Structure 1
Amino acid sequence: MKLDILAIGAHPDDVELGCGGTLAKEIASGKKVGIVDLTRGELGTRGTAETRDNEAANACRILGAEVRENLKFADGFFINDKQHQLEVIKILRKYKPEIVLCNAINDRHIDHGKGSQLVSDACFLSGLIKIETKLNGSNDAQQPWRPKQVYHYIQWKNIEPDLVVDITGFMDAKMEAVFAYKTQFYDENSKEPETPITSKNFSDSVKYRANDLGRLVGVEYAEAYTVERYVAVDSLFNLK
């Protein structure tokens, strides 16, 4: 299956928080979108890897993505080395996305920056013909594939964006997908330990950040990204 967009996150819920509105909008326009989680989020304070699996599947259904896979790297301990790069390369060559969305380049959680660089490096290496890969269970060599663009969604830190996407009309879908992770976010009845993302402030911030980004560009809601190379347009009139 060929995808238009492949969104990759270090943990289940990274994609929904960072680019869920963008994905919902592109899916509504007919684009084929997939999601890949690098880890199962097994070190998360609340819930378990199994509850995260179920929550991720529900979030995928809400957004309408074609497919969701988990590479089952070690939460907190995966590294950007050949072994991990090759696994990401296999996924890139499997789905041949035109655009890859991935973690913030610098963030509070150490896995976000690591995941960001890992995916970015794999996107480059995936285009090299002398790197040979095969999908598990297949004897056929995969063909090289390099995405046209790699964009990094913004997460905990307020990094200055290079571009924003108008997600007006898709904020509700984003929020529904985010809160599919019932064990991870604000619940006034929860008896589990508090974390930086379990506060009501954090849950509220998902919407007011998108609202504020929208305000800055003259729309209701927006999501922000940093880029790896200059953004080009055919005409100044293509810009909002």
Structure 2
Amino acid sequence: MNDSLDILIFGAHADDAEIGMGATIAKHTAAGLKVGICDLTYAEMSSNGTVELRQAEAEEAARLLGLSLRTNLGLPDRGLFMSPDYIERITMEIRKYKPRIVFAPYWQDRHPDHIACSQLIQEAVFNAKLRRYLPEMEAVQVQQLYFYFINDVYEADVMVDVSSWYDAKIAALSAYRSQFVTGQDTVSTPLNQGYVERVEARDRLMGQKRMITYAEGFVSKLPLLVDRFA
């Protein structure tokens, strides 16, 4: 069985990828590409919801977005740091699924776990191509590493027109009721105080730059290569 993916997206917590690029995911899966998400933690430190509930929500979001797979490395929530063991486990995930393109959170964000996740993925993408690193697994050269925005938005290098797929993003975010909806047993957090509406406003503003309804923006540390301008 071929486990290879076209795209592998990493997030510190379930819902990170959906916030940053849920509509882009839906657009690519609808086109027949194999897309997977790897969550680094079970978000066990979340103020609302349980680990079990958040896992069920993540699986529902995965179904709505048409993911080929969703995995979780079970690293400690609020305990992500530059550990050789963590880098090794992420590298093994990349080598197992051999993605052409990897996405990670942007390296600046108000949440320390998102920053740490970004750093860990960059290290793992680099190590994945080294044939003498974990030589028992075949080295994998990722063609492109992109960064998506979660809480804080900076200047994008590239944007994707997701106007026709934005409903899928909202549906996926709505699966995370424990995070984005207030209830009798919830406490107030930035996520359940109009957060989804602010994400939508952000994506509308991004689209306005190119006169489209919605866009999701991404950053690349490498220059984007084009064949010609025509």
TM-score class normalised by the smaller sequence: over 0.9
Q: Distance in 2 between matches of 1:10 and 1:190?
A: 27
Match of 2:154 in 1: 159
Verify the 8 A CA contact 1:210 1:221 in the aligned structure 2. yes
Identity %: 36
Instruction: Give per-residue Cα distances to partners, 1:91-141, cap 9 Å, x unaligned.
Output: 0000000000111211010000100010011001010000116xxxxxxx3
Deviations 1:171-217 (CA, angstroms, capped at 9, x unpaired):
00011111111100033x444211111102x1211211111111111
Show the 5 A alignment for 1:139-150: 141-150=136-145
Q: 2:91–2:127: 8 Å Cα contact kept in structure 1?
A: yes
What's 1:90 paired with? 92
Unpaired runs of at least 5, structure 2: none
Matched to 2:146, the amino acid is Y
1:217 match: secondary structure = coil
- Map of 1:1-240 to 2, 5 A cutoff? 1-132=3-134, 141-187=136-182, 189-200=183-194, 202-237=195-230
Shift of 1:51: 0.8
- Distance in 2, matches of 1:33 and 1:158, equals 24
In 2, Cα distance between equivalents of 1:190 and 1:27: 36
Q: TM-score, normalised by structure 2?
A: 0.96
Separation in structure 1 between the aligned mates of residue 201 and residue 53 of structure 2, nearest angstrom: 27
Q: Distance in 1 between matches of 2:190 and 2:216?
A: 21
TM-score (normalizing by structure 1): 0.92
8 Å CA contact 1:24–1:170 kept in 2: the answer is yes
Q: CA deviation at 1:146?
A: 2.1
Query: Residue type matched to 2:204 in 1?
Result: N
CA distance in 2, matches of 1:159, 1:124: 24
Identify unmatched segments of 5+ residues in structure 1: 134-140
Could you say what secondary structure the match of 1:184 adopts?
A: helix
| Aligned mates of 1:45, 1:128 — CA distance in 2 | 39
Give the Cα separation in 1 of the matches to 2:172 and 2:10.
15
Instruction: For residue 188 of structure 2, give the secondary structure of its aligned residue in structure 1.
Output: coil
- What's the secondary structure of 2:123's corresponding residue? helix
**Gap change, CA 1:232 and 1:190, over 3 Å in 2:** farther
Residues in 2 aligned to 1:194 and 1:231: alpha-carbon distance in whole angstroms: 41
Report how far residue 236 of structure 1 moved. Answer: 2.1
Q: CA deviation at 1:169?
A: 0.5
* Aligned partner of residue 38 in structure 1, secondary structure: strand
Change (3 A) 1:205 1:127: same
Measure the CA separation in 1 of the matches of 2:221 and 2:101. Answer: 12
Over 6 Å off, 4+ runs:
none
CA distance in 1, matches of 2:80, 2:153: 25
Q: Partners in 1 of 2:167 and 2:11 — Cα distance?
A: 21
How many residues align? The count is 228
Distance 2:227 2:214 in 1: 25
